[in-house]
Amino acid sequence: MRNWDWKGRMRTGKSTTADLLVSQSPIPLKHINVGELVKERHLHEKYDEDWQSYIVDEDKVLDELEPCVADGGVVLDWHTCDIFPERWIDLVIVLRCDHTCLWDRLEKRGYSLKKIQENNESEIMRVVLDEAREAYNPDIVIELQSETTGDLESNVNRIISWMEAWMRNNSDQ
């Protein structure tokens, strides 16, 4: 088993889903929150006050992650699609959220109006989903709704079922 990449705009439940998957997985998995890694290991050029986010140094991120993903079993939790090499990824999960629900979540977190609007426009226009399908084989890109606790539980169960099928079909690798 190799690695999974969690895509979706911010605040769709990526980290919560990843944590639950790791705790319920039939095999040992490691969850790497790439955004946290960027902050902790200073894998950025600077902080952009307007966007309330770091300008990520992608080369540093890839160099840091390469040894972590080499043996597989890693859940990569981040909101961008085009950074990770295809050879690292077996499944891409794009978590989706209704834009009004997303707006409320971002407001509660104190995000700037500019950042809330950008995230909502991206969600409405399916930017992350389209980027994932362009960057990876569309057969490994799965879109899941992530708005309720029920969605969360259902999504984790679906992913675990996919993992079990993948392991049966790839037992010789």
Per-residue pLDDT reduced to its tens digit, 32-81? 999 999 999 999 999 998 888 899 999 999 999 999 999 999 999 998 87
Distance set, CA 117 to CA 60, 80, 99, 112, 152 (Å): 29, 17, 10, 9, 25
**Tens digit of each residue's pLDDT (9 = 90 or more) over 109-149:** 888 898 889 888 888 898 989 999 999 999 999 999 998 88
> What does the pLDDT average to over 149-157?
93
Write the DSSP assignment of 90-103 as a string of letters: EEEEEEE--HHHHH
How many other β-carbons are positioned within 10 Å of the β-carbon of residue 51? 13
User: H/E element holding 151?
Assistant: helix 149-169
Indicate the annotated binding residues.
13-16, 109
pTM of the model: 0.85
The residue ranges of every structural domain in the chain are 3-169
Q: How far is CA 42 from CA 36, 76, 153, in A?
A: 10, 18, 33
Instruction: Report the SS3 class of residue 119.
Output: helix
| Annotated binding-site positions for ATP | 13-16, 109
List phi, psi (to 5°) of 146: -140, 80
How far is residue 65's CA from residue 79's CA, in Å, rounded to a whole number? 16
Residue 72: φ, ψ to 5°: 80, -175
pLDDT at residue 102 greater than cutoff 90: no
Instruction: Let me know if domain 3-169 sits in CATH 3.40.1190.20.
Output: no
Handedness of CA 140, 22, 76, 67 (dihedral sign): negative
The rounded radius of gyration (Å) of the Cα atoms in the chain is 16
